Structure formats: structure tokens, C-alpha cells
Structure 1
């Protein structure tokens, strides 16, 4: 029975295993410190500092001025569904019917929750390779299911193997979440890993939920691979994506869920009975993003490459810290085990002595301890300031 209470009012038992988002809490800490006059340089979040492409803004403004402020079909605007379908086919090799195989959602986060709600019952289990984004386990818990961590190792480059997955399988396992490029590690799934994941899912009749929100942010010749494009797995794969990271549209809250018609038909019920639809004028902006913002994405990726270099170089200059270059996304996942500190203690040290905020690796689950995550989606000026502060800190803080 649920016994947790607030002010004497009973709350659902499901919340007993769910904490607030660690990354959201860090953002609130930064905002509070800045109100208090502290010059905090924040690398704890995952928000691009770029302005949304002008073509996207112009289209949304035009829609607003034209009175396009009403409900859309719950699946999404036909124009946006068509643009997403075309994008999936040409860029990802994923073929779905835009009329039956896609739902436009108010954020990729909502698409993820919808996907999990669609395939998990209370008591079911979903395997989540970790370190992982903080909301995967929380979403599962809110549904009444359980996220089972498959702990990846930094020494293996955070690569996933079938052997590791088999060790997490039970008779309650229903799904597997894959994030590529990965937050927080920056690892990009390769063909060998993908083949093992597909074979595992097919043999055990599991649904694959694939989070591809960072797909356009890859470096050093790495290429994004969509699992749903591989033979024999499309009918069991739900692909999640959105506009926040690649198009600098975090505040627009626009994402989508794509997959086989029978699964999407059930997912549509979640959409219809919760959020109804994404905002009409925001969807118009989404069409413009998919059809007219390629140059903006290329420019942002070029800048991320410079920022990655600044961040990794500054981290590797710290005593006891080692940081590999991430293959994708815009996070550096630094190994701080050589300092002798926990990730929480290290993050606190940077905050107290350098006024720099980072996310402790422990927030990202099993395998995250011993690391901290820094976002280089911040401006170059901020990153250069962080580098200067870390250099001063290194001079006064000898290696253990």
C-alpha cells in the first residue's frame, strides 16, 4: 500500500523510488547562485547556446500571425509527418508510413515516455545500458516497471556486448533502451554492437526503444546508425528523436516517435489521452527545420568540434583527471578516479573553488561513478573561462 504522504495526503507509492531529475536540480542551483551574485560557469546541462535557425523562427512567427494557433491532428500535421518520413527514409534508412508509423510529440522526452508506456506493464523490466540519461529509470518507475542496468565500462570504451545483455535478461524483460550517440558517455554505436543488439532482441522477442536525439552531432568520421534500418528488426523498434539538440530548439518542445503501425496505433492512445498534440505553430517550425536548416546544423557541428577540443584539453590538464574525446553528442565524460574523490565530491570541489558546475557521474547510474559530465554546448567564451579556472585550480591542487 502507498503510505508516503504530503501534508497528510496520500501520494502514489510509485514515487517512493523516483528522485527529482539530477540535471534539472543542478540547473536550479546555478540559477540560485547567480541570483546571489556568484559568477558561475555552468557546464552541467545539455542545452545548446545557439539561436534557433532563422528559417525555423520565421516559419513559426508566420504561422502565429496567420492564426495557426489551434489543435492539430493528434498524430501531427500531415506536412510534418511527411517531412519526418522523408528524413527517416533518406538519412536513416528507416521506412515507415507517415500516416500510420509516426507521432509528433511535445518533446522527445514525451516520445520516450510514450514508448515505454506503450510496451511496459507494471512489474515488467527494461534493460538500460548505463551510465545513462537520468530519466530512463525514472520513467520506467513511474509506469510501475523496473529499469535493469547493464553496466558499461570506461576501459571498454563504454561498448555494449551481447554477453552483458544476456546477463541482465529475466522472464520479466520486455524491452531494451539504446541511446546513440550516448548521453553522458559520447559513445556512438558501431556495426558490431548493433548486430549483437539486434540478435539479442530478436531471439528474446524484445522491443527496442532507440533514442537518437544526438544523431547529427558526431565527430572524427563516426557515423550514426539507426537500429530500425537493420534487417529483421524494424517491426520491433521504436525510434525516438526530436529537434532540441541538433536544431537548438530546446524551448520549442518538439519530438517524434516512429515505428511499426501496430505499436504506433497503441502509442497514439497515450498521446490522445495526455497531451493531445504538439503546438501547431511549433510543428510548422519543425517542417522548416527539416527542410531548410542543413547549413545551420553544419555550422553548429563545426563549432562543437572546436569546443570539444577546448574542453578535453582543459580536463586533461587537471591532476588525476583523464578525458577521452567523445565520439558524438556534446558531453565530455571525464574519468576522475585518479583524484581519489567521488564524483559528487569532485563536482563540489569545482563549484566551491572554481565556481564551475558539472554533473557527477553517479547521477547517471551504474558505471557513472568515478566520472563527471561536462557539456560543451556552452559558448566558446564560457568554455575558455572554464579552462582558465581549471588551470588555476590545477596549479594549487597537486595530484594525490
Structure 2
């Protein structure tokens, strides 16, 4: 293995020594740093990553097992089995009330894999990506691995709570080397959600400038003042420069399955097909049959129960956190995260480590999410109420 400078340890000098210096020197995710510190600790309450403590429901696992038993273990269509692509198209059409064809759908080996493929397709050295921040850090790193510059349009806190996006500032960041805007709504970690009027302005801007609009809508179901978050798909024509990014991970408790999907202009699907060939060569067929079960009426019932679970968990978390003297927070209308500021904290990574050491509660440091994140912590409230209550009891000891 390469050391941090990209050279090889002395006992392995006979192997090729070169590793890209920017890759070798890349800082590990600060979320994962906390996660790894917690490995092996007794009685840790893991609220640092975006997943529930609920296992994948049996009807989904049973469908995958049945496919495995039926011999669905061979190479298959790179962009996904036809049944699943059609299922995703039908699900999307029903969710948003829009027409959707399966030729626009590509199944990927996780939502993150989809983002990686997009970055491979779009960015050459010197190009730039504009990201609405604070934001999930992985998209930033995926672009930087392709030698793209990342520019941040930082959300502004609103006096009444929550966040707002200044479109003038966002558009001012665009140069002749801008290839894409990345908008995650509902947002991780903030819970910020863009409304249709701003979506329309951004889409019109991207059309006029020939810029891709990357719409990460993984948390679309986790919205608490309506049935689903506004989607750029509701405004875009099939050939518009819009790429919708989604995943089975959140709504169906399938984080470990690593299955996601992209919805793109039809012609872009051919590019995705080629890039899948040279990365994973396609996702496992039997897992895709499990994902297909998630899109049935039974899966819809489960997804709604997940949203209700998070709604109730969020109510408890926000009430308890708001009563802690050092905490400042507002209740977002979407996602399943509390993103809160702690008085006196200037180094959130160090403080998250302290919380883990002293209380056994794992939180994600706000600095992991880029500009606008420092001084905050992110708590995922998709877990059971008993686990959340136990975590909050412990946090009171350090945040009161």
C-alpha cells in the first residue's frame, strides 16, 4: 500500500511506486473518522450516518433470496434489469404525476456510484462544479478526484430558523468552465428544501447557459408538510440538462444493498451504460429483484411508515435539543437530520470526538459538510424512539 506521500514502504520497493499525490493526500471523510473511532466501543449509539436502525423489511429480502434461489446469479443488463427500470419509471411517474419512460432510467451500484459516473462523464481538469452547501461531502470528493474545482454557494440562515438560497450569489459563481450545478433537496445535513419557484429559475439558467443540473433527491419522501418534496423532474423536459439522482437506501431501509438510480435525458443513458461497463459492469441481478419488491404497494406502505417514524422521532429530538441551554436549532420541514449549533464550539470534529468518548453517542461534525457547517453537529433521527431517547439522555450530560 502507498504511504501518504504516494511512495511505497521499503519492504515493497519492487512494486510500482506511483500513486497520485492528490489522492494519497486526500483527507478521509470526517464522518467516517468518527465512525471508525466507534468501532469496538461498547454501547455506542450510532447517529452519525444517514441510516435507520431498522433492518430491511422481510418482503424485500425474501424477493432477493427467491431470485438467488432461482439462479439469478449471472451477468445482466448493465443499466439494470428491464423490470426494475420500468418499475422505477412507474414509481417516479406515480410519485410526481408526470410521464416517465424506462429508457431514461439507469440502475447504479448505489446513489454514490451514480454521482461518480456523472463526474467521470462531465469533468475535465480545470472544469468546475458548483455545490449548494453545507452539503454531503462525497460529491465534492468525487468531483475533485476528476480534477474539477468545486465552488460553494453557501445557504444563509434565516432569522426565523432554517436556511435560504441566494440565487444571485449562486449564479455569480458560474464561469465558462462551469459544467454543472449540484442541488441536494431535501438537503443533507440541513433539511433545507428548495421550492418550485427557485427550481424553475435554476432550470431556466442551466438551459440558457448549457450547464448540467444535478438534482440529488434521495430524501424526497422525508418531508413533513406535504407528501413529497418538489422535484426538478416536474419542471424539466426529457431532453433538458437535468440528471436526477436517487437511491433505495433511505425510504426502504436498504443502505447496505448499495442500489441507486439515475434519471437522465435518453441520449445520456448511453454514456452511463459505457461507464457502468468500465466500473461495476452492472449491479447484482438478485439484489435488483429485491429492489423491485420495494416498488410494490407493500413497499409504499413501508416507505410511508418510515416517514411517520422519522416525523415522530424528529418531534422528540427537536423538543429535547431545544431545551438544552447550549443548543441552537430550528426544525426543518424535510430530511431526517437535526443540524444544530452548540455555543462555544469552534472545532466540531474535536467536540464530536469528545461527545463520543464521554457519552458513547456518535454524531457527525458539521465541518464535514463544508462551508456553513463548522460549529454544528448532525444527528440522524431515523432510529427507534428508545434509542433516540437514550442518546438524548446522554447528550444532556455534556450539552446542558
The 8 Å contact of residues 19 and 138 in structure 1, kept in 2 or not, is answered as no
Match for residue 214 of structure 1?
A: 219
Pick which of 85-94 and 75-84 moved more: 85-94
- Quote how far apart the aligned CAs of 1:94 are: 5.1
**Post-superposition CA distance 1:54-104 (Å, at most 9, x none):** 221111111111111111111111100111111122213454431x32211
State yes or no: 1:139 paired with 2:142: yes
The 8 Å contact of residues 115 and 257 in structure 1, kept in 2 or not, is answered as no
Pick one of 39, 44, 48 that aligns with 2:43.
39
Pick one of 10, 18, 22 that aligns with 2:30.
22
**Alpha carbons of structure 1 residues 231 and 254: separation in structure 2 relative to 1, 3 Å:** closer
- Quote how far apart the aligned CAs of 1:393 are: 3.2
State yes or no: 1:170 paired with 2:166: no
Pick which of 138-147 and 114-123 moved more: 114-123
Unaligned runs of 5+ in 2: none
* C-alpha separation in 2, matches of 1:268 and 1:13: 30
Match for residue 311 of structure 1?
A: 317
Match for residue 398 of structure 1?
A: none
The 8 Å contact of residues 186 and 220 in structure 2, kept in 1 or not, is answered as yes
**Post-superposition CA distance 1:175-200 (Å, at most 9, x none):** 01111111000112212221221122
- Quote how far apart the aligned CAs of 1:106 are: 1.1
**Post-superposition CA distance 1:292-318 (Å, at most 9, x none):** 311111111111111111211222122
- Quote how far apart the aligned CAs of 1:18 are: 2.8
**Alpha carbons of structure 1 residues 90 and 218: separation in structure 2 relative to 1, 3 Å:** same
DSSP-derived class of the 1:235 partner: coil
Pick one of 372, 382, 388 that aligns with 1:367.
372
- Quote how far apart the aligned CAs of 1:233 are: 7.5
The 8 Å contact of residues 161 and 197 in structure 1, kept in 2 or not, is answered as no
The 8 Å contact of residues 208 and 237 in structure 1, kept in 2 or not, is answered as yes
Pick one of 330, 333, 341 that aligns with 2:336.
330
TM-score by length of 1: 0.91
Pick which of 345-354 and 202-211 moved more: 345-354
* C-alpha separation in 2, matches of 1:74 and 1:260: 17
* C-alpha separation in 1, matches of 2:270 and 2:229: 27
**Alpha carbons of structure 1 residues 259 and 177: separation in structure 2 relative to 1, 3 Å:** same
User: What is the root-mean-square deviation in Å for CA atoms of aligned residues?
Assistant: 2.0
* C-alpha separation in 1, matches of 2:43 and 2:280: 38
- Quote how far apart the aligned CAs of 1:234 are: 4.9
Once the two structures are superposed, the pairs formed by residues 85-104 of structure 1 within 5 Å of their partners are: 85-93=89-97, 95-98=99-102, 100-104=103-107
Match for residue 320 of structure 1?
A: 326
**Post-superposition CA distance 1:176-235 (Å, at most 9, x none):** 111111100011221222122112212221101111111111113374111122145852
**Alpha carbons of structure 1 residues 306 and 165: separation in structure 2 relative to 1, 3 Å:** same
**Alpha carbons of structure 1 residues 81 and 123: separation in structure 2 relative to 1, 3 Å:** same
Once the two structures are superposed, the pairs formed by residues 261-340 of structure 1 within 5 Å of their partners are: 261-291=266-296, 292-336=298-342, 338-340=343-345
Once the two structures are superposed, the pairs formed by residues 64-103 of structure 1 within 5 Å of their partners are: 64-93=68-97, 95-98=99-102, 100-103=103-106
* C-alpha separation in 2, matches of 1:29 and 1:3: 24
Pick one of 190, 205, 212 that aligns with 2:195.
190
* C-alpha separation in 2, matches of 1:61 and 1:3: 45
The 8 Å contact of residues 227 and 233 in structure 1, kept in 2 or not, is answered as no
Match for residue 356 of structure 2?
A: 351
- Quote how far apart the aligned CAs of 1:260 are: 0.6
Unaligned runs of 5+ in 1: 396-400
The 8 Å contact of residues 359 and 373 in structure 1, kept in 2 or not, is answered as yes
Pick one of 259, 267, 276 that aligns with 2:264.
259
**Alpha carbons of structure 1 residues 24 and 342: separation in structure 2 relative to 1, 3 Å:** closer
Pick which of 176-185 and 52-61 moved more: 52-61
Match for residue 382 of structure 1?
A: 387
* C-alpha separation in 2, matches of 1:6 and 1:95: 54
**Alpha carbons of structure 1 residues 251 and 189: separation in structure 2 relative to 1, 3 Å:** same
The 8 Å contact of residues 127 and 149 in structure 1, kept in 2 or not, is answered as yes
